[in-house]
Amino acid sequence: MNPFWVSLQFFVIIIAELTMLFIGISTLVGVVFQYVSDEKLRKWMSKKGIVGNVLGAALGAITPFCSCSTIPVMVGLLRAGVPFGASMSFLLASPLLNPVILTLFLALLGWKVCAIYGIVTFLASIFAGALLHALGLEKDLKRVKISGARERAMHSTLGQKIRAALDGAWKDFRSMLGYIVIGVAIGSAIYGYMPNDFVVGIAGPGNPFAVPVAALIGIPLYVRAETVIPIAMALTQKGMGMGAVLALIIGGAGMSIPEMSMLAAIFKPRLVAIFIGVVFTTAVVAGLVFNFM
């Protein structure tokens, strides 16, 4: 088949799948959140020790934020008295883990990739938050005010909750549509036109440095995991090792140049550098774990 038609077919199928998955899962999450106020979430996370880190990572795992929109929410949590370690666990988990991302992984890349990605990123979020707290890095926070974290409107009837959740899902989808289309378009072009040998040579299973290289490539990018998964799917079908794909997704979704700039407003340089190192390490570990298994 002509490469253009191959690419077009890939584009249409993936756009349709992502649209249904994104809106459906986001609506479901939105309905659930209608039963839990922001104040309850903050109280729930204000636990001492490792429990707080687990709860912070768990909250991040069910909130569909990108790396940049996570930061104002984290600032709001800190202002509400949530411990530093739990807030850092949330900061790492939120852009990497949510039901939409995990559903896309399951649907497009299979249950093994989904399970390894979910387990490694969740555990890394818990461990990273606990470690940063244990190292006393809370003193590297700057006392600045960031706007953006706001209370959600709560509705009384189930119908109102569903309508509000669907409206929120549709608004989120519209705000993400351009990124999704760009991501799928890139994936479609890769799928239809990029030579297999080129991909395998750079990041195939035989290249021992494929995973760290993919993580380094991903970190400067500003992508959401939902955006890069279609690209990853196309790369795997061209021969890119799945470990390298996971590293690329985690690096790209967990850290970006815009996020670095935002973090520099609330973190001192040492903490920014350490957090970048945490994202890179998580990406490499996830990729190596998958390759090992």
Distance CA(125)–CA(111), nearest Å, equals 21
Mean pLDDT of the chain: 77
Residues in the chain: 293
CA distances 260 to 3, 110, 246, Å, are: 38, 32, 21
Write out the chain in H/E/C secondary structure. Answer: CCHHHHHHHHHHHHHHHHHHHHHHHHHHHHHHHCCCCHHHHHHHHCCCCHHHHHHHHHHHHCCCCCHHHHHHHHHHHHHCCCCHHHHHHHHHHHHHCCHHHHHHHHHHHCHHHHHHHHHHHHHHHHHHHHHHHHCCHHHHECCCCCCCCCCCCCCCCHHHHHHHHHHHHHHHHHHHHHHHHHHHHHHHHHHHHCCHHHHHHHHCCCCCCHHHHHHHHHCCCCCCHHHHHHHHHHHHHHCCCHHHHHHHHHHHHHCCHHHHHHHHHHECHHHHHHHHHHHHHHHHHHHHHHHHC
Tens digits of residue pLDDT in 75-119:
767 766 778 899 899 988 888 887 777 877 787 777 888 888 889
Q: Which of 84-88, 158-162, 183-187 has the lowest mean pLDDT?
A: 183-187
Would you place residue 125 in the very low, low, confident or very high pLDDT band (cuts 50, 70, 90)? very high
Tens digits of residue pLDDT in 215-269:
877 776 655 666 667 777 777 777 777 888 888 888 877 776 656 766 787 888 8
The letter for the amino acid at 205 is P
- Higher-confidence residue of 166 and 176: namely 166
pTM assigned to the model: 0.67
Instruction: Please report the pLDDT score of residue 109 as a whole number.
Output: 72
Beta pairing partners, 156: none
Q: Which of 49-53, 66-70, 166-170 has the lowest mean pLDDT?
A: 66-70
Distance CA(178)–CA(189), nearest Å, equals 16
CA distances 53 to 42, 50, 88, Å, are: 13, 5, 8
Instruction: Please report the pLDDT score of residue 127 as a whole number.
Output: 93
Chain-centre distance for alpha carbon 189: 23
